[in-house]
Every structure is written in C-alpha cells, then in structure tokens.
Amino acid sequence: MMKNKILCSTGALIGRWNCRDFTLLTGCVDALECDGFEFMMYNPWHERVDELTAFLKTLDTEFPVFHTEKDIGNLISRNEDGDNETAIALFEKNCAVAREIGSEKLVLHLWGGIDSDKDINNNISVYKRLREISDAFGLLLTVENVVCNRADPTTNLNKLISVCPDAVCTFDTKMSEFHNQTRALYRNENDWLFSRIRHMHVNDYNGGYMDWENLKTLHIGEGKVDFGRLFEFLKSKEYKYDFTVEATSFDQSGALNFDALNNTFEKIRKYLA
C-alpha cells in the first residue's frame, strides 16, 4: 500500500514576521521530520523568480505540492477591469515556478479576499482558463475549500463540479470546520466531495461558526477538530493522497518552532498507524 506523505507548508515557517526570507528553509530541511514540503508562493517573490528557483533546487528535499499565490483568487473575486487577466498571468508564472522545482500538484484559492464568492460564476469561468494552463504545464490543479462570505465552500465546489465535472480539490480541515462542514464529509450523500479530494491540509481550528476573529491556523490538538474520527474515516475510504501541515510555527520575533511541527507530524503518523 502506498504511503501517505506528510508535508510541511513553507507558509508555516516563512511569513511577515521573518521578512518572508525563503533562505530560512536551509535550516528547516534537516530539522523537520516530514516527507517534503508544500511550497507557498508569496507575491514579492515574483520579482526574484530566478533566484528563488535556483535556491530551492539546492535543497535536499522535494516540493511535490505548490500553493499558488493567494492574490490570484482575490483578483478573480474582485473582478475589476483587468483583474481576471492579471490573475491568469500571475497563475501562469506560478505554474512555471512549480514545474521548475519539480512540483506535480497545485493548490488554488479560486475565491478570496473581501469580495470572496460574490460572483462565483466569474470564478468558475476563470477556472476553465487556469485549468488549460495547468494542464499545459503537466500540473494537477486542485481547488481548496477556502472560507467564503456568501455561500459556503462545499456549495461552491459543487457548483464548480457541475460545470467542470473533472475538477478536483484540496480539503482543508480548518476551512471546513469554520463553516461547520467537517462532519458533513462523512455522509453518504457527500461521496461526490470525497471522490474529488486529491490532497488534504490538516489544521486545527478553535473558533465558532464563521468566527472571523479566530481564523488562525493551529496545530492538531489546539482546537476542536475531531481528528480521530477524520482519520478513521480516511482509512475506511482508503485515502491514498498526501497531507500538508500549515500550522503557523513562528512567533513575532520570526523564531521557528520545529518541535511543534515535529510533534504534529508524529500525531498524524499515529493516526495513520
């Protein structure tokens, strides 16, 4: 049976508080007991693509999953003059980086920002073009069930699949719990959703229904997600794809907390055992 890989999001390690310094990954590769990384792209790095890709290729690790820049979904959702075209061009740049560093799978926020899913039909229309681009690069495009402020992620994914039946997704437990939708995944009538999952983000959440003030990405055990039930369900369904841990693991000084991440990786391995 193929082993589920446990990946670490570079976004759990690199952010505003450590100046988005991607060279910090040098010290992370040996310190973290994961099976590779999901690379999170940040907008400022588009001006340093050659430097970025050259650096990443020196690291003794893999980046099987690439998280595209979140501004792509924000632009599509805003949909002012030229926004869709800018988002498409940004996505194509992301695909080029992903292919260069050996990624096979993309994670996309198809909607986002304050505009969110105000016009989901536009987001779906742009998805079709993004899908053509990712296919041309040989990359699997997955749409994440990110939070939204009009409908809910399951409804939006259902609508996407009704228009694009071969669309697939990344399922994030924090995003799902935010909308009180995690338990719905286990119902037979939602087999359509499970059958589309090609990747998972396993993050905890400790807020209430659509509790925007508590939308923080937590380590397993720091919130209220029932991971015991989740992993039993995944094993019963013979889930064969990979997991990424995104829990924020640096403080306002920029210092990295490797122990917290390694403890989370170990918890996942125990759940899978």
Distance separating alpha carbons of residues 63 and 79, to the nearest angstrom: 31
**Regions of the chain with pLDDT less than 70:** 1-2
Are the CB atoms for 67 and 117 separated by under 8 Å?
no
Taking only the tens place, the pLDDT of each residue in 81-91 is 999 999 999 99
Strand pairing report for 140-144 and 37-40: unpaired
Decide which of 2.130.10.30, 3.20.20.150, 3.30.70.20, 3.40.50.300 is the CATH code for 6-272.
3.20.20.150
Predicted pLDDT at 254: 87
Distance separating alpha carbons of residues 179 and 185, to the nearest angstrom: 12
Helix/strand/coil (H/E/C) assignment for every residue in 43-95: HHHHHHHHHHHHHHCCCCCCCCEEECCCHHHHHHHHCCCCHHHHHHHHHHHHH
- What is the four-CA torsion angle of 107, 259, 203, 231, rounded to 10 degrees? 100
Distance separating alpha carbons of residues 77 and 148, to the nearest angstrom: 11
Distance separating alpha carbons of residues 109 and 43, to the nearest angstrom: 14
Are the CB atoms for 52 and 98 separated by under 8 Å?
no
Taking only the tens place, the pLDDT of each residue in 116-130 is 999 999 999 999 999
pTM (2 d.p.): 0.97
Q: How many CA atoms lie within 13 A of 216 on its CB side?
A: 13
Predicted pLDDT at 68: 98
What are the extents of the domains in the chain?
A: 6-272
Predicted pLDDT at 1: 45
Tokens representing 108?
Answer: 């996309």
**How many Å from the N-terminal Cα to the C-terminal Cα in the chain?**
13
Distance separating alpha carbons of residues 56 and 111, to the nearest angstrom: 28
